[in-house]
Structure 1
Amino acid sequence: MIYELRRYTLHPGRRDTLITLFEREFVEPQEAAGMRVAGTFRDPGAPDTFTWLRSFPDMETRRTALESFYDGPVWRAHRDAANATMIDSDDVLLLRPAAGPPLPSWDRPPVGAAEPPAALYVATICHVEDGFAEFFARQVAPALAEAGAPPVGRLESEHAENTFPRLPVRTGETVFVWFTRFARPEDEREVDLSLLEARLTAPPVRLRLRPTARSSMR
């Protein structure tokens, strides 16, 4: 399985415009082309961003699925409206599952759903060296669970060549990403990451993410 963690920088005040368009026009056509829209999010601390995840069975399927969608009629009809909301769409991490539980998924509400779920996800992005996934599983995940913030999904860098170069991805980085889910924002737990310091090559980045109305991660 291959994942893209995509974080767009948007023109001020345009996030809800993009999310409305995305959830109405782009979810089902992408999935019909052979990919899965795994999660779509607002970051309450960064109102001019849109963060989302999509997945593919493998890199070759990624190529054919993206060709089908981006050369197809739906994107052609709506790309100008989508692109008009964006300043930058190239902050993309290419990832694969690491050992541990898979990302959670629920049935997606239908087109037109407007009420977002109450949950909060925290995505922690760490720049690491080889062997970090095993260290995380052995020492970090149990400590997080004990602190009330168990990881609900773990991803690590996929270093394969980008099979769809029209959409750039970040290169030259090795990252490990884990997600934590809280039923409500007020349930969020601050966790001590000092255990990681000696294993990281840069400070960790934490994204606080609220699912959109039609997100499968809820």
Structure 2
Amino acid sequence: MIVEMRTYQTKPGMRTRFIEIFEAKTRPEHDRLGMPIAGPFLSVEDPDIFFFMRGFPDIDSRETMKARFYEGRLWKEELEAVLMPMLERYDVVVVDDPDGRIAW
């Protein structure tokens, strides 16, 4: 499995609202598309940072599956305009989990 390790920094005070929308809208759509999510995990040192992991069956399916989400109606018509302005930045590290160490 290929895993994206994603760290997000929201604008001050926006983390709770971002995660509410993430849980209500983003996670169900990812589940529907076959992209499991582990997290979110909240930073105990910074109230504006959280982390989650997103899985893909293999490297070849990653771009296709991401495109289904980011080019889809939910992202384009609803989430992008709401979530992106809440972010200061985000970082993504892509890793391989060949031994299935991450329990989804």
Q: TM-score, normalised on structure 2? A: 0.90
Equivalence for 1:13: 13
CA contact (8 A) 1:35 1:62 kept: no
Deviations 1:30-81 (A, max 9, x none): 1222311122111111111121100000112111111100000111111111
Q: Which has the higher helix share?
A: 2
1:22: how far off?
Answer: 0.2
Q: Secondary structure at the match of 1:12?
A: coil
Deviation string, structure 1 residues 92-116 (Cα, Å, up to 9, x no partner): 11001165x62234xxxxxxxxxxx
Give the structure 2 partner of residue 43 of structure 1: 43
Partner of 1:64: 64
Corresponding residue number in structure 2 for 1:104: 103
Q: Where does structure 1 differ by over 6 angstroms across 4 or more consecutive aligned residues?
A: none
| Deviation of the 1:10 alpha carbon | 1.2
Quick one: higher RCO (CA 8 Å, sep 6+), 1 or 2? 2
Structure 2: which 5+ runs fail to align? none
- Aligned ranges 1:1-218 → 2 under 5 Å: 1-76=1-76, 77-89=78-90, 91-97=91-97, 99=99, 102-105=101-104
What's the % identity of the aligned pairs?
30
CA distance in 1, matches of 2:61, 2:42: 28
1:33–1:65 Cα contact (<8 Å) kept: yes
Aligned residues: 103
Tell me the alpha carbon deviations over residues 106-155 of structure 1, each in whole angstroms, 9 at most, x when there is no partner: xxxxxxxxxxxxxxxxxxxxxxxxxxxxxxxxxxxxxxxxxxxxxxxxxx
Provide closer, same or farther for how the CA distance between residues 98 and 60 of structure 1 changes in structure 2, counting only shifts above 3 A. closer
Contact 1:7-1:49 within 8 A present in 2 as well: yes
Query: Which of the two has higher C-alpha Rg?
Result: 1
